Structure 1
């Protein structure tokens, strides 16, 4: 299975690798948002990142490596922020509502990165794509666990398939805040959007 440690680098200093790749990721997100992955050159990524193209290739093997690093970094950041927000003593439906609020908040904070990731992830090589999408399933499982706890407490009546689908539905509704922002964010605040989506999600399934 691919991981970011296996992205080729001629540099041996782990701290320097991390620093340069963080610069690279930030620069690439800006360019991919403006031009897309395929129309962005490695020379442009290097310039946007603040170093030469020769330096760029000391830390990657190909342009696809940059896209992989971008997607991997964004998923990790979303997952880590969500875990942080979910560090709470609440339980039951309150915890589920907090999970939805927290996830939507993370998406709002990282909307440019999330938009770029979902637009361009299809351009990843097969092995890298499988690895990156596995991280999306990890987030789905985090939401599934909270829903399942509500079912076990008899606060919701759902079977396993419904639990899984509901978790995916929550993730997609959060992403919609970014994908449809050109119209949704003109008409609703994040709080208004979140409150309505929680009502839609829970309506009809609470005991």
Structure 2
């Protein structure tokens, strides 16, 4: 799968295109979160973004492009956290995973509406867009897998399948966002973080922090 997908624009000024894409995504994000992808019309996106409908199509070709750009923008907010996880080779690996999880959980809690929208609405993407989004997800998982594999080599983690565990960790990173209705009245966010990190570290075979 490839992350590469080009959203075709009639405008040649790349800086302007980037600015307009951000403007469109911001407006669409709020609409998608409130009423879903299918119920949101291009006319509504045009009005919310402040871009005339005819001009809107100069920057994107379809509503699918907007959903893709929305998903891409969310992954871009994640990328640095995942890349930093893999680059920090001088840290204690348990502390590294612990710190990474805290950051990701806080970011996802802040962006809870966007994260929920992406995971629930991405099924509406066309095949090319969906492949690109899934590729971005796989990239994040690979970064986690690398760190787990390094931990296994060093005897810090004890798990037989780092790829499987990396996928589970990625899922748990969005767990509260997708199932918050069942957690919010039971735990504070701080307590939730502690419980989840403790659970994941035990799954990795870490007996004590």
Does TM-score exceed 0.5, indicating one fold?
yes
Deviation at 1:131, TM superposition (A): 0.8
Task: State the distance in 2 between where 1:126 and 1:80 align.
Answer: 26
- 1:88-99 mapped onto 2 (5 Å cutoff): 89-99=90-100
Task: State the distance in 1 between where 2:135 and 2:46 align.
Answer: 29
Deviation at 1:187, TM superposition (A): 2.5
1:199 aligns with 2:198: yes
Partner of 1:29: 29
Check the 8 A contact 2:141/2:167 in 1, yes or no: yes
Q: How large is the RMSD of aligned CA atoms in angstroms?
A: 1.9
Provide the aligned length of Structure 1 versus Structure 2.
Answer: 204
Q: Give the number of the structure with larger relative contact order, counting CA–CA contacts within 8 Å between residues 6 or more apart.
A: 2
Partner of 2:168: 169
Task: State the distance in 1 between where 2:188 and 2:85 align.
Answer: 20
Task: State the distance in 1 between where 2:186 and 2:147 align.
Answer: 30
Deviation at 1:157, TM superposition (A): 2.1
Partner of 1:69: 69
Partner of 1:78: 78
TM normalised by structure 2 equals 0.89
Q: Runs in 1 of length 4+ with deviation above 3 angstroms?
A: 1-4, 81-89
Task: State the distance in 2 between where 1:158 and 1:40 align.
Answer: 44
TM normalised by structure 1 equals 0.90
Task: State the distance in 2 between where 1:188 and 1:140 align.
Answer: 27
Deviation at 1:79, TM superposition (A): 1.6
Task: State the distance in 2 between where 1:109 and 1:26 align.
Answer: 15
Task: State the distance in 2 between where 1:194 and 1:50 align.
Answer: 39
Deviation at 1:87, TM superposition (A): 6.7
